[in-house]
Structure 1
Amino acid sequence: MTRPFRFGVVAPLTTDLPTWLARVRRIADSGYSTLLMPDVPQWQPAPGPTLATAAALTDLRVGTWVYASPLRPAWMTAWEAHSLSVLTDGRFEMGIATGRPGIEDELRRLGLPAVPPSERLAQVRETVTALRDLDGPDRHTPVAMAVSGPKARALAVDVADTVTFALHDVPRAEVARLARDSRAVRDLELALHVPVVGDTVAPFMAHPATDPAALHAMDSLAVLPDDPAAAAEEIQRRREEIGFSYFVFGADVADAFAPVVAELAGH
């Protein structure tokens, strides 16, 4: 099954509020599907109230990209996600994963237990299970999972609606194989997190030390050309050859890629 294209923007609130609100309106007016917030304590306002503000301002879908499972008890994350789904009338998508590389140091700074990856993955399952219980039979909050290892991929196939592969430094052919293997089990939506456009690394979407030249050299799927026409052609190629239909960019390229979204969204 070929899914229609949709596009999301990771747009943390890092400016004054009026500037951010104006950006949110432009993103909505440009035809993007989803406004997304990272989960980075103390760098920005918390995802929940920020996303609720964006959803009240526009008709955008909103989502976390992504909750880090060890930062909160599973029931608390599920409760917030369910609440956002209710308050946005079904326009919320819960993105979740086990946390960025180095999250153990962040957990210690926050006074939280630095649990191993296996426990963090169990927290993801527990969170999704609690969310489904809160949603009940009449609501289904979409779940997106960012995955890398085989256990996380297996969990995503079991419980998620959307999967994105946190494998920026892995060559295209290997990510393509993993994507096809996942969709062979179940018809998941495949999302592509694109932190590098041209030679620019989007804030909050990759480590600041990310080397765009190295990613270009290995033909990484984490990169798109900065020319909108070339980007549109490559996006279509990635859906045709691999199955990616949901593309997520940083806010700094949202205006420049508006023509891409106008051409492809919904098709």
Structure 2
Amino acid sequence: MTDSTATRATKPFRFGVVAPLTTDLPTWRDRVRRIAGSGYSTLLMPDVPKWQPAPAPTLAAAAGLADLRVGTWVYASPLRPAWSTAWEAHSLSVLTDGRFEMGIGTGRPGIEDELRELGLPVTRPGERLAQVRETVTRLRELDGPDLHTPVVMAVRGPKARALAAEFADTVTFALMPGDDRAEMTRLVRDFRTDRDVELSQHVAVVGDSVAPFMASPDTDPAALRAADSLAVLPDDPAAAAEEIQRRREEIGFSYFVFGADFAEKLAPVVAELAGH
């Protein structure tokens, strides 16, 4: 095994938007088309029952509206059986002509309460990680030799990072509120794989605004800036573009995911950097 930061070639920038359906359908459809027209690569859907329609049909609808990739950000492994998630992901790959990428993780902090409300088993973290492994394994079986559904894994601990090193095409690192730049840089540099994987950054705060669905409502932007957290980007597009380039150069992040409310503000950043 080798240090990924030492062996991976610099990847071109790409940008995704978490855009759940929270408005009337015509408004959401217009937003999807604007996101695609602004150069974003991927429209993403969270996996939170009761927040919005289910990811699969919503993403299929989005893929029919515009020529862009779609994906889950991210499936929570304990919410459904592994075979069901794999079947759904494979079906989306087929129905979108290969434009689907499956994001998967073990669930957000506090998912235990959600599982109880849904009448589902409250599994231990290790069991949830085993569900992730089984899901990806079944997806690869369904894809067969002629299709490869990209897998994005949301990770934090050493066991999750090891699984991502084995299976993932893209890896995103879960940020905790107190994580500063130095801590996240160390976490990424400690990620070791002999495979060429893409590193992704989840950006929940731009300036003083917090993206719905991407961070807790009580998130304090000032506290995050004081901690030099990578969850924050500057409000000014030029400064944001400079910071994004710094993060690729110093840490290796090349795929950045924003909330839908920031899509128009950061469109100049995407226009400048996407594909470079």
TM-score relative to the length of structure 1: 0.98
Q: CA deviation at 1:183?
A: 5.2
Q: For the residues of structure 2 that align with 1:168 and 1:23, how far apart are their CA atoms?
A: 30
The CA deviation string for residues 176-200 of structure 1, in whole angstroms up to 9 with x for no partner, is: 1221232554321000000011111
For these two proteins, the number of residue pairs brought into alignment is 267
Runs (5+) with no aligned partner, structure 1: none
Q: CA deviation at 1:111?
A: 0.5
Match for 1:9 among 17, 20, 35?
17
Q: In the alignment, what sits opposite 2:147?
A: 139
The CA deviation string for residues 122-173 of structure 1, in whole angstroms up to 9 with x for no partner, is: 0000000000000001111000011111111111111101011112421111
Amino acid corresponding to residue 121 of structure 1 in structure 2:
L
Q: For the residues of structure 1 that align with 2:224 and 2:268, how far apart are their CA atoms?
A: 25
Amino acid corresponding to residue 163 of structure 1 in structure 2:
V
Superposed structure 1 runs of 4+ greater than 4 Å apart? none
Q: In the alignment, what sits opposite 1:45?
A: 53
Q: CA deviation at 1:12?
A: 0.4
Runs (5+) with no aligned partner, structure 2: 1-8
Q: In the alignment, what sits opposite 1:207?
A: 216
Match for 2:98 among 90, 93, 114?
90
Q: CA deviation at 1:210?
A: 1.3
Q: For the residues of structure 2 that align with 1:29 and 1:154, how far apart are their CA atoms?
A: 37
Q: For the residues of structure 2 that align with 1:237 and 1:201, how far apart are their CA atoms?
A: 22
1:161 aligns with 2:169: yes
Amino acid corresponding to residue 193 of structure 1 in structure 2:
H
Q: For the residues of structure 2 that align with 1:157 and 1:211, how far apart are their CA atoms?
A: 32
Q: In the alignment, what sits opposite 2:226?
A: 217
SS of the residue corresponding to residue 44 of structure 2 reads strand
Match for 2:267 among 242, 258, 263?
258
- Sequence identity (%): 82
Q: For the residues of structure 2 that align with 1:160 and 1:184, how far apart are their CA atoms?
A: 10
The CA deviation string for residues 203-245 of structure 1, in whole angstroms up to 9 with x for no partner, is: 0001111111111011111100010000000000000111100
| 164-173 or 41-50, which deviates more | 164-173
Amino acid corresponding to residue 95 of structure 1 in structure 2:
G
SS of the residue corresponding to residue 95 of structure 1 reads strand
Q: In the alignment, what sits opposite 2:3?
A: none
Q: For the residues of structure 2 that align with 1:183 and 1:189, how far apart are their CA atoms?
A: 13
Match for 1:123 among 119, 128, 131?
131
Do the aligned partners of 1:168 and 1:221 also contact (CA within 8 Å) in 2?
no
Q: For the residues of structure 1 that align with 2:193 and 2:269, how far apart are their CA atoms?
A: 29
Q: For the residues of structure 1 that align with 2:127 and 2:63, how far apart are their CA atoms?
A: 33
Match for 1:245 among 249, 254, 258?
254
1:189 aligns with 2:202: no
Q: For the residues of structure 2 that align with 1:59 and 1:49, how far apart are their CA atoms?
A: 17
Q: For the residues of structure 2 that align with 1:154 and 1:208, how far apart are their CA atoms?
A: 31
Q: CA deviation at 1:38?
A: 0.2
Do the aligned partners of 1:33 and 1:61 also contact (CA within 8 Å) in 2?
yes
Q: CA deviation at 1:23?
A: 0.2
Do the aligned partners of 1:168 and 1:220 also contact (CA within 8 Å) in 2?
no
Do the aligned partners of 2:166 and 2:193 also contact (CA within 8 Å) in 1?
no
Match for 1:34 among 20, 25, 42?
42
Do the aligned partners of 1:7 and 1:246 also contact (CA within 8 Å) in 2?
yes
Amino acid corresponding to residue 160 of structure 1 in structure 2:
A
Q: For the residues of structure 2 that align with 1:192 and 1:253, how far apart are their CA atoms?
A: 15
Q: In the alignment, what sits opposite 1:148?
A: 156
SS of the residue corresponding to residue 81 of structure 1 reads helix
- Aligned CA-pair RMSD: 0.9
Q: For the residues of structure 1 that align with 2:202 and 2:126, how far apart are their CA atoms?
A: 23
